Chain A
Amino acid sequence: MTALDSAIVVTDLSKSYGAVEAVKSVSFAVRRGTTTALLGGNGAGKTTTLSMLLGLLTPTAGRATVLGEEMPAQRHRVLPRINFTSPYVDMPKRLTVGENLSVFADLYGLRRPRERIDEVAEDCDLAGLLKRPYGSLSAGQRTRVSLAKAVLNEPDVLLLDEPTASLDPDVGDRMRTYLERYQHRTGCTMLLASHHMGEVERMCDDVIMLRAGIVVDQGSPRDLIARYGRENMEEVFLDIARGRIEERVPGSAAEEGAA
């Protein structure tokens, strides 16, 4: 795969906080127009990696490029073309949903903001909530607003940190369907951190498995399931998270990393 085929290229990326190494020399690439999952247990380095890709966090070492631009040095060239959702950020609670979205429409320089807001509100099932204060919404409704904000600028790259974590199965399914349609329509590249393995199997072309800040394995969900001799990604995840990777896949990256 050449750099031109990849929307995201990460090379030997590391991040340390003092003596704590959150991400250790991670390398991977995300092909344009595909969905890739970044998986791992809590503290595996998923959010840290996503933060570096968003330009919110300066790497200690290594390189990260998004759409060919170096992050964070050239972030202002690429930020208009990317967007994200994260459980670590929120929106002003006293503003209505419509007001919040109109602020972001201005920030992203949308040509016809009213039309676009109505469009994403319809897509994310928010049409009836535009006049409601954001702070009065349920957790699931807020997640949908966050998703609406993330697609407002029709990004070429979407970084999604647990995008459906607080949604009920019905709404979660509708959001996944929406993201799949969005990708089909726009050719957007998605990098998804999730703990929902059903979501990963359904949406993702590739999976990158992180443990303690290193990439321990990667491949398509189908390949990983076959390689680990498991029924589904949930079982693969448990193998990796609980360190059973070496006994199931001799010569794995984790084994090499440990050595």
Chain B
Amino acid sequence: MNVAARIERYTGAAASARRVRAVLRRHGYLILKSWTRIASMMYYPTVTMVVWGFLTLYLAPTNNFLKDAPGFFIGAVLLWDLLFRGQLGVSLTFIEEFYARNLGNLFVSPLTLPEYIAGQLAMSMLRALIGVGGACLFAFLLFRYSIFSVGFPLIAFFANLLAFGWAIGLAMSGMILRLGLGAEELAWAAIFVIAPVSGVYYPISVLPSWLQAIAWGIPSAHVFEGMRSVLLQGVFRWDHFWAAAVLNVFYLALGAAVFAWSMRYARDRGTLLQMGE
């Protein structure tokens, strides 16, 4: 085969899609053949949801707020876990390559950084769907609560939270590439920094004014404020939806830039070949 014909096979959308599929396949093999991995993805979201579910059962008879919105805490915890799983899905996909010492193989192949990131994001969605999907099933079985009863707004919340999780996950992947596996804890803990200002279980208005100013710069604060509006007033707040979407564009660009910057650093320091467990 001549060189031009061979090169054609490596360029264009179909070739890119095939390489993204390769990243998915590599992690898909890992997940789908291990029931313990699948169980561990569902474990934390399910246990947290069960705790909040029983708390709701305990408080609901004497609490007007929970009488009006009995699924409030369960919905909040499921959406928070979606954000967490979205971020973790991106970071863990990258960490797996570190442990396997496979980064050198990947980045000497025709795989580009945007294609690798696309694969990470797709894996993150799969991990989030498995983890939070399992918890949603248990929420229905144990508490007769279906988050799908929220309807269309759920898709808007889902998209915005997943996108923000991806942004944080990309930035954390970059930091791990920059600092090494010693920074692996970042992948697990980083998201909790934004928990207080996300207003998962309480409105942003309870925060001190200076913290409110910070909160409105975080997409998840708009999502959870929007969720409260849907559950308590039955109103979908487009203003919060668009604010979260615009902020997500910024944070995704920032996360990708941090990852790309770290990749340049790794190419300068030679760590793509040397890094491992």
Contact = CB atoms under 8 A, between A and B. Distances in A.
Interface stretch (A51-59, A116-124, A172-180): A51-59
B7 interface: yes
Interface string A68-100: 000010001101111110101111111100010
B123 to A, nearest CB: 13
Interface residues of A, number: 38
Contact of A94 (B7, B34, B105, B264): B34
A90 B22 CA distance: 17
Interface stretch (A32-40, A105-113, A188-196, A236-244): A105-113
A89 B102 contact: yes
- 9 nearest CB pairs, A to B: A106-B22, A89-B104, A90-B101, A107-B109, A80-B10, A92-B100, A80-B110, A103-B26, A107-B22
A80 B7 contact: yes
A142 to B, nearest CB: 11
Given A72-B267, A89-B102, A92-B100, A106 B108 contact: no
Interface string A159-181: 00000000000000000000000
Given A47-B273, A56-B272, A90-B100, A79 B22 contact: no
B19 A107 contact: yes
B13 interface: no
Taking residues whose C-beta sits less than 8 angstroms from the other chain, chain B's interface range is 35 or more
B144 interface: no
Contacts of B33: 94
A28 interface: no
Contacts of A81: 3, 6
A106 B25 contact: yes
**Taking chain A's interface residues, is the majority helix, strand, or loop, or is none over half, making it mixed?**
mixed
A149 interface: yes
A6 interface: no
A57 B272 CA distance: 8
B62 to A, nearest CB: 50
Given A56-B267, A109-B18, A88 B104 contact: yes
B239 interface: no
Contacts of B270: 15, 17, 48, 51, 56-57
Given A57-B270, A88-B104, 7 more contacts: A82-B108, A86-B273, A92-B26, A94-B33, A103-B29, A108-B110, A109-B9
A74 to B, nearest CB: 12
A109 B102 contact: no
Nearest to A103: B26
B108 A79 contact: yes
A50 to B, nearest CB: 9
Contacts of B272: 56-57
A104 B29 contact: no
A218 interface: no
A94 B10 contact: no
B111 interface: yes
A81 B276 CA distance: 26
A145 B50 CA distance: 46
Nearest to B277: A90
12 contacts: A47-B273, A51-B273, A55-B108, A55-B267, A57-B273, A58-B267, A80-B7, A81-B3, A83-B108, A86-B104, A94-B29, A107-B106
B105 A89 contact: yes
A102 interface: yes
A19 B158 CA distance: 50
A80 B272 CA distance: 18
A81 B109 CA distance: 9
Interface string B1-34: 0010011011000010011011001100110011
A99 B270 CA distance: 28
Given A51-B270, A89-B104, A95 B10 contact: no
